[in-house]
Structure 1
Amino acid sequence: MPKIFIDPGHGGSDTGAIGNGLLEKDITLFIALEINRLLQNEYEGVSVQLSRTKDETVSLDERTSRANRWGADLYVAIHVNAGGGTGYEDYIYNRLDDDSPTARIRDVIHEEVVKATGFRDRGKKKANFHVLRETTMPAVLTENGFIDREEDARKLNDTRFLRTVARGHVNGLERALGLQKKRKTTLTRVIVDGTQVGAFAERENVLRQVEHYLGRARQIVLEQVEE
């Protein structure tokens, strides 16, 4: 069961970057919660923890220590950039080789986020950030647009776009970790004289219901749907 630690940057008294009426801490939390929702709803056997699930102050030491104690398989820190640029970039620890397992995971996430968002590709980078240095598992930090760039800020102020950012991360995680999609359940609705009287996954239950109404109904309709 893959264990993924999602770290929405900043929070509480630490707002992170500020620009165009937006706060980095709010954007990162929204993206992280959406990543968690997608992983939990769509994939089999994935365990997720977040460094925070609300607007609260969490120290860097606490974030990495919690991930290390839990034994996470991957640490993903979500951030938003500032400084007048535009686009997407991501980071791994600066002492890692370009062909390391962490770099390979980062490369896939990078590709999927750029593809999903259409952000300008600012490249794959390395840094001596605390969350990359002090984690005992592969760790990637993503920078999703520039909050002080009007063009990027318009996107970051749109919840539909933030869901797209989250989807890009999840698509990358699926490929990088080999995550398996949950199987959809096919239900057969039994509709008797225009009224649904049941919906069943098992063929035997469908037949039993049909037999129950057979001879007494004017019309019996079976309709398959995916749940």
Structure 2
Amino acid sequence: MLLPLNKLIIYCLGVLFLIPAEDIFAQKNGFTVVIDPGHGGRDPGAIGSSSKEKDLVLSVGKKLGNLIKNNHQDVTVLYTRNTDRFVELDKRAEIANKAKADLYISLHCNALDRKKRSPQGVETFVLGLHRSKDNLDVAKAENSVILYEDDYSAKYQGFDPNEPESYIIFEFMTDQYLQQSIYFASLVQNKLVNNSKRVNRDVRQAGFLVLREVAMPSILVELGYISNVTDEQYMKSESGQESMANSVYLAFKEYKREYDKKSHVFTNPQQ
């Protein structure tokens, strides 16, 4: 049986890289996004004066998922959790990797020690080596979720989220999805700042275990500081959650449009 030119190209690439052709064809059918609301269950995440991180990010995540599902029939939306339950970090990555997802969005809230005056604002992270103490502190806080897991030291090859020395592993990493991740992170940050009118704390890099484990473009969004009264009230409100979900959705929509353009060129080389 003769294959069309575009499928022949994909088949040859599959042979070249020792990837079964049927697996590559499967990856070209539709688009899968994984939404990862951080924490959950016995892990509340950061705690504000009247709310918990785990609840806020779950609500925003489900609103985001509904926006994507209602407007993109060709997109499959998966959640690492859609209820208040604890999911281990490696399991979150496993969900995305097994689905061969095309994009991974992890949602969180930031916090600062109550003894200090809390800043406010949104920041979007990609995997990388932290360049400042602030970025390291954020990574430590989010990676500390593994302390709720059994045998975390063995599971994560001795990684200790509280030891700066553990983060040396990120210094020697090269992420093949970094440019795509930065592009999407920039879209998300821009929409949250300009559409939702959040204080801009920029796109940053830091060593997040959950981003290290996923094999796709990925970002981690700190939607605001739950330790800041203004941010917390905004993130608790229905209007605030809807606005943030819509902003991330608008960024996704733009990212997906560019993805489709590139996919069209690749699968239709003569057009």
TM-score (norm 1): 0.76
Deviation at 1:44, TM superposition (A): 2.9
Match of 1:109 in 2: 188
Deviation at 1:166, TM superposition (A): 0.3
Give matches, 1:61-210, under 5 Å. Answer: 61-83=90-112, 84-94=118-128, 95-96=174-175, 100-178=179-257
Contact (CA 8 Å) 2:120, 2:224: kept in 1 or not?
A: yes
Per-residue CA deviations over 1:82-139 (Å, capped at 9, x if unaligned) read 1122000010010559971221111112111222211110011001101111110011
Identity, in percent, stands at: 29
Q: Which has the higher strand share?
A: 1
How many residue pairs are counted as aligned between the two chains?
180
Match of 2:56 in 1: 27
- The alignment's C-alpha RMSD in Å is 1.8
Q: RCO (CA 8 Å, sep 6+): is it higher in 1 or 2? A: 2
More displaced, 70-79 or 110-119? 110-119
Query: Segments of 4+ in structure 1 off by > 2 A?
Result: 95-99
Give the aligned residue type for 1:4: V
3-state SS of paired residue (2:77): strand
Show structure 2 runs of 5+ residues with no match.
Answer: 1-29, 113-117, 129-173, 260-271
Q: Say which one has the larger Rg.
A: 1
Show structure 1 runs of 5+ residues with no match.
Answer: 181-227
3-state SS of paired residue (2:195): helix
Q: Structure 1: how far apart are the matches of 2:254 and 2:45? A: 30
Give the aligned residue type for 2:209: H
Out of 66, 83, 93, the residue aligned to residue 37 of structure 1 is: 66
Distance 1:139 1:53, change over 3 A: same
Match of 1:47 in 2: 76
